[in-house]
Structure 1
Amino acid sequence: MKKRNLNGVVFVATMGALAFGFDTGVISGAIPFLELPFSEGGLALSASQVGIVTSSLLLGAACGGLLSGNLADQRGRKRTLLILALLFTAGAIGTSLAPNIVVMVIFRVVLGLAVGGASAIVPVFIGELAPTHLRGQLVARNELTIVTGQLLAYTSNAIFAQTMPDNHHVWRFMLILCTVPALLLFFGTFYLAESPRWLISHNKLAEARDALWQLREGDDVEDELQEIKQHVEETKRIEAASLRTEMKVPWIRRIVLIGVTLSFLSQMTGVNSVMYYAPSILIHTGLGTSASIVATIGNGVVSVLAVAFGSMVLLPRIRRRPMLLTGQIGVTCCHVLLGSAFVFMAQSVFRSYVVLALMMLFLFFMQAFVSVIFWLMLSEIFPLRIRGKAMGLAVFANWIANFIVAMLFPPLQESLGGALFFIFALINFGTIFFYLKFIPETKGRSLEELERHFQSQGK
């Protein structure tokens, strides 16, 4: 038995997040080519079919997030990641070889199962492996890796589009690249240690001690092991029950509802309308198609830099609630400004660049503040005995909101134009008050301390 570098373990785990980001980002560049007729290598997708193809992954992700929680609780975090890697690989190969929309949608759903599972399991897994003082920074790497995956997808799309303009099947090359992070996750999984908390909860104390020893710099892990063991034993004294039964306990019901609502509202910011449809938004301002695709790379760069700034600079210095509220206020203001740019500015190149700048400012507030805190809080607030199930439910809500936005954005944009951003502003204004009233502060407390705090608050 050898020591394992904690950063290396987290890096492998976040390959699931990289695949998540790549798979959700790559479709934006593939869509223009999928709309081409069959004679030109496309799938002749109509506008409504584009919405179906885009959102089918999100519907699969909602189911994947829900199902993966039970799987992770029963089979372990490590084994679940291995299964997700296989789904990522199968989905990437299937979509790249799809001969028609039916096959494309089927394998997009398969990809969605993997994406949803990764979004639920990776932050929980990292949170359970990390020592308390590093948990925030390490879990935040999940979001950083997601947006890095999206940036890589946007960049590879642009490269393929520019270097293979006459290749009728260029979209297939875009989609097959999704196998790279999937295979990295698959082979890297064999390096991972299982979650000590999961091992103890399944009466594998010796294995938990070994896993904890491998992940810590020193050799003395007994104090931490006993704290986890004591907490697990306390939960086992409570009769094992389903999530439905556990929801009858007032403090558990309250914290699960807060987590699920937080998860839903994070998508109602409209962040993925920008990530999925940025070229379409820019084309509506009058910018050319090629320039719009290239500009999408700028959104990806801002997202990566913003998450890095939020997780490495802000998170160690600022408490969770102030960060979340700052980001939410910034997001709301950006929607007002975006709507105003469309409504009150004449169509011109200048307006195009104003909208692009505002989208980047929106992504800065979203990724540096809201996204960093959102995933971190979800990994912290749920009690151990239902953590996997509750996380799955929260991620289900997240992906359902994502699905709603992805399905409705194109027709609403067509009918309302830029005024659609005022609707987003109104929704996000209400979200500010929800955060003020219900979101707890979690910084500086172990997962066990947080659970005891929530329990005492609910009495």
Structure 2
Amino acid sequence: MTHDPTATAHNSGLPPLTPGRYRRRLGFVTLIATLGGLLFGYDTSVINGAGGFMAQPDQLNLDDFGLGVAVSSLLFASAVGALVGGGVSDAIGRKKTITVMASMFILGVVMVVASLNLAMIVTGRIILGLAVGSASVVVPVYLAELAPYEIRGSLAGRNEMMIVTGQLLAIIMNAIIGNLWGEQYPWVWRVMFTLAALPAIALLLGVSRLPESPRWLADKERQDEALAVLDNLRPEGRAKPELDEINAARHEEAAREDLSIREVIADNNLVKIVLIGCGIGFFQQTTGINSILYYGERVLEEAGFGRGGALIANIAPAAISVITAIIALQMMDRFSRRKTFLWGYGLVAFSHVLIGTTAELMPEGGAKPYVLLFLIVFFVGSMQLCLNVATWVTLSEIFPLKMRAFGMGVSVFILWMTNSALGLFFPTLIATIGMSGSFFTFAVLNAIAFLFVLTFVPETKGRTLEQLEEDVMSGKIFHRGARA
């Protein structure tokens, strides 16, 4: 059935979203804000390609562990940035936080590009990581608070698209720069990192034209400013009634008391749902997706490509990420979340077995690199299609309102820390047990993830947040029927 936003608007008591110039203004605001997502994607992936040049003896002379430290320093800092970014934006506002974030992106790039040793690289990457972690929290919140609820999903979804677009852009630029000048100028890794400054500068310049979140302004009792923002980004006659709804919800929220950590721990049902959330975050990372996002060049060289060929072949997994992310956004509300997880972990485990077997048994040379590239693309496509969006949607749904911030925060922290650990040790892992051993290990982990979903993860599609909360608090959600 086609969704009718006009009807929904009338049901909510708000005037409908009629066409108007405000939509163009919303589009501009979304474009500028999601440059933070583009930078998130670019800065996490640029080292996939730049790392090989950085590690050379006449550059930074990094061993496998040193390269892992360079990669993971951004990821560990991102975990911290994600934890503190929301609190900072609550204190000083979304707009000021995005301004600080853009400045940190620029400062981090300058530090990395000027690096003479591993310590300087790590310092620059930590600054970038704090900005990336903040962006992962602040930009989606800003868009959700600014968008009309009828089109909130499509506007907020653009940030995820910008993240994977940033990853693809980094891979493409690395391939072009590396193949044109890599053999002659081994310092081209500095150019690869420098390009990240361009969207950061655009974000810093553009943020001056962004409005502050009307919900943040209302929370700070700056009612006239909140009304002015809504008046600019809504059809005529809608701003005042929407501000009234925001204030009513804010007063209701103020009367609600969040559960303390002690109260959460004392309730077995809440402990169970937090552990399920942590498991979802942990297993999303043990798919091994970031072994491709951060070390795709290294993996493809192990597969048999030369450096130039690996840089070009690296584009294929990044491109399939963008394509399948678009499809995943369209299918998320049409298919069972739980079955999507099961298909995803099953396909990913199967692809890992095929990659490991091919790497181990197929003769070197000939078609082997291309077969492995096809299997890697199949793996990345399966993960992005079935697991990436499903993970974030499910984590946003399963926690009761009074401990949602705590549950989401702990689960995302576990996700980032798992990501960081894999980023740190993957070069050493592949050097120690090879490509086949690494992917067989991932296959085992994904088989365990399949069993985890089958045994513990409930179905959330087609149920309101209030229904899910009631089932969590009563323990009904953990019964077999809730997982059907």
Give yes or no for TM over 0.5.
yes
TM-score between the two structures when normalised by the length of structure 1: 0.87
CA distance in 2: counterparts of 1:168 and 1:387, whole angstroms:
48
Aligned 8 A contact 2:398 2:460 in 1: no
CA distance in 1: counterparts of 2:368 and 2:361, whole angstroms:
10
Aligned 8 A contact 1:336 1:421 in 2: yes
TM-score between the two structures when normalised by the length of structure 2: 0.83
Larger mean CA deviation between 45-54 and 377-386 belongs to 377-386
1:37 aligns with 2:54: no
Q: CA deviation at 1:110?
A: 0.8
Aligned 8 A contact 1:15 1:181 in 2: yes
1:140 aligns with 2:157: yes
Give the structure 1 partner of residue 414 of structure 2: 397
RMSD: 2.9
Tell me which of 204, 208, 220 is aligned to 1:190. Answer: 208
| 3-state SS, counterpart of residue 314 of structure 2 | helix
Larger mean CA deviation between 280-289 and 214-223 belongs to 214-223
Give the structure 2 partner of residue 409 of structure 1: 426
1:128 aligns with 2:148: no
Matches within 5 A, 1:359-438: 359-378=376-395, 391-417=408-434, 418-436=436-454, 437-438=456-457
Gaps of 5+ in 1: none
Distance 1:8 1:78, change over 3 A: same
CA distance in 2: counterparts of 1:214 and 1:317, whole angstroms:
34
Larger mean CA deviation between 205-214 and 47-56 belongs to 205-214
Distance 1:373 1:181, change over 3 A: farther
Q: CA deviation at 1:351?
A: 2.0
Q: CA deviation at 1:239?
A: 4.1
Aligned 8 A contact 1:120 1:391 in 2: no
Matches within 5 A, 1:321-336: 321-336=338-353
| 3-state SS, counterpart of residue 458 of structure 1 | helix
| 3-state SS, counterpart of residue 99 of structure 1 | coil
CA distance in 1: counterparts of 2:402 and 2:235, whole angstroms:
28
Larger mean CA deviation between 6-15 and 351-360 belongs to 6-15
Tell me which of 158, 166, 180 is aligned to 1:149. Answer: 166
Gaps of 5+ in 2: 1-20, 475-484
* Letter of the structure 1 residue corresponding to residue 70 of structure 2: V
Structure with the greater alpha carbon radius of gyration: 2
1:220 aligns with 2:238: yes
Matches within 5 A, 1:5-84: 5-38=25-58, 42-84=59-101
| 3-state SS, counterpart of residue 349 of structure 1 | coil
* Letter of the structure 1 residue corresponding to residue 457 of structure 2: F
Give the structure 1 partner of residue 372 of structure 2: 355
Larger mean CA deviation between 192-201 and 281-290 belongs to 192-201
Give the length in aligned residue pairs: 449
Structure number with the bigger relative contact order (C-alpha 8 A, sep ≥ 6) is 1
Q: CA deviation at 1:97?
A: 0.8
Distance 1:342 1:203, change over 3 A: same
Q: CA deviation at 1:395?
A: 3.3
Distance 1:229 1:386, change over 3 A: farther
Matches within 5 A, 1:210-359: 210-217=228-235, 219-221=237-239, 224-239=242-257, 244=261, 247=264, 250=267, 256-311=274-329, 313-315=330-332, 317-318=334-335, 320-359=337-376
CA distance in 2: counterparts of 1:249 and 1:133, whole angstroms:
38
Distance 1:340 1:123, change over 3 A: farther
CA distance in 1: counterparts of 2:248 and 2:233, whole angstroms:
20
CA distance in 1: counterparts of 2:137 and 2:90, whole angstroms:
12
Give the structure 2 partner of residue 85 of structure 1: 102
CA distance in 2: counterparts of 1:399 and 1:371, whole angstroms:
14
State, as a whole percentage, how many aligned pairs show the same letter: 37
Aligned 8 A contact 1:193 1:211 in 2: yes
Q: CA deviation at 1:287?
A: 2.3
